[in-house]
């Protein structure tokens, strides 16, 4: 009978988490203008999810509100409010909305860097546009996934993979851990995924909001390289003298990285003087180097080490 008692306790704990988290989750309804061959300009309705991250501030996916001329928010208590898009970044598939309602408690944000395969998570949102939070339960299947949406060409990095059900309408809602903290933003942008779902890490959301606060807008800072984490197997195969870092998969011709000599097979071990081993760490180092104009990198090519400051390109989003 002990196992039944444990199951009841777990069930109650999950219900408590859902009850608290749901208060901060909103259903998002959009109206997007579109051209029709027969009827000319017409309005297309869309739906998604989001959650409160600050006073009157809501995070969701960029693709949920992309091109919307009208955004309506419906809170868990049934109250409706008009939303306004104040910032968006298609490269991160994130958007920040402003609401006139400021009395809803923000959802606590966790640390997605600590997530491990096997951890239980809850997906909270409005699948198929049905008003009011709906819940699905699953585990983290993998972390650090990188996927390409072929239709848009957008590359999403460091994704959390889960077997919890994510359907259209869930996009933009939170994935939460057993402490009731948001650890990701669910995304259904990869339409071909079957039986698995993906979430943008909450640390990417924190960074998105930090950049907006620092620069007043989202920016895209880059040097022109595609990299992947260096593993022990790759290090052995390539003969790299180090076991941690980022291996250069491609340096795009004509970009600063290519002009300054970065080539396929090089291993980046430090950026701005700090050791790096994830794509996110390199991206953040590049963003933090905007004001300096270049990012200082320590690189191995074979057994030879060199240091260079690669110019940073900044684009308005």
Question: 185 near 110, Cβ under 8 Å?
Answer: no
In the residue annotation, 258 being an active-site residue is answered as no
In the residue annotation, 88 being an active-site residue is answered as no
Number of residues that this document lists for the chain: 317
Integer CA distances (angstroms), 296 to 86, 243, 292, in order: 32, 20, 10
CA angle 108, 173, 141 (to 5 degrees): 90
* DSSP symbols for 217-259: S-EEEE-SEEEEE--HHHHHHHT-S-SSSEEEEEE-TTSHHHH
Helix and strand element counts for the chain (H, E): 6, 20
Q: Which of 49, 171, 266, 289 is catalytic?
A: 171
Closest CA to 183 of 308, 313, 17, 305: 17
Question: 227 near 206, Cβ under 8 Å?
Answer: no
Q: Which of 22, 24, 49, 63 is catalytic?
A: 63
Q: Which of 93, 112, 136, 266 is catalytic?
A: 93
Distance in angstroms (rounded) separating the CA atoms of residues 142 and 304: 34
Integer CA distances (angstroms), 138 to 29, 124, 196, 220, in order: 26, 12, 10, 33
Interacting residues of 183 by C-beta distance below 8 A, sequence separation 6+? 110, 111, 112, 115, 121, 160, 175, 176, 177, 199, 201, 202
In the residue annotation, 93 being an active-site residue is answered as yes
Two tokens at 171? 């996009």
Two tokens at 190? 């990869």
Residues tagged active-site: 63, 93, 171
């Amino acid at each position: 009978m002990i196992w039944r008692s444990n199951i009841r306790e777990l069930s109650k704990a999950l219900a408590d988490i859902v009850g608290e988290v749901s208060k901060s989750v909103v259903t998002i309804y959009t109206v997007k203008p579109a051209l029709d061959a027969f009827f000319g300009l017409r309005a297309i309705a869309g739906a998604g999810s989001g959650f409160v991250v600050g006073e009157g501030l809501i995070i969701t996916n960029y693709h949920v509100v992309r091109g919307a001329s009208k955004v309506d928010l419906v809170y868990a208590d049934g109250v409706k409010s008009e939303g306004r898009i104040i910032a968006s970044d298609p490269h991160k598939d994130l958007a920040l909305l402003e609401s006139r309602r400021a009395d809803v408690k923000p959802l606590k944000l966790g640390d997605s860097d600590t997530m491990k395969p096997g951890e239980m998570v809850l997906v909270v949102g409005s699948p198929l546009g049905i008003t009011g939070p709906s819940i699905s339960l699953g585990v983290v299947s993998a972390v650090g996934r990188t996927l390409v949406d072929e239709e848009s060409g957008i590359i999403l990095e460091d994704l959390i993979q889960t077997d919890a059900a994510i359907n259209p309408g869930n996009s933009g809602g939170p994935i939460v851990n057993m402490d009731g903290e948001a650890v990701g933003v669910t995304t259904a942008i990869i339409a071909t995924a079957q039986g698995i779902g993906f979430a943008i890490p909450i640390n990417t959301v924190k960074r998105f909001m930090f950049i907006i606060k620092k620069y007043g807008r989202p920016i895209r800072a880059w040097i022109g390289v595609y990299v992947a984490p260096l593993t022990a197997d790759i290090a052995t195969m390539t003969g790299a003298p180090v076991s941690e870092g980022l291996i250069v998969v491609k340096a795009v011709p004509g970009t600063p990285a290519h002009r300054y000599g970065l080539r396929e097979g090089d291993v980046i071990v430090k950026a701005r003087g700090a050791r790096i081993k994830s794509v996110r760490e390199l991206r953040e180092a590049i963003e933090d180097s905007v004001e300096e104009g270049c990012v200082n990198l320590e690189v191995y090519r074979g057994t030879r080490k060199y240091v260079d400051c690669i110019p940073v390109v900044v684009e308005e989003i």
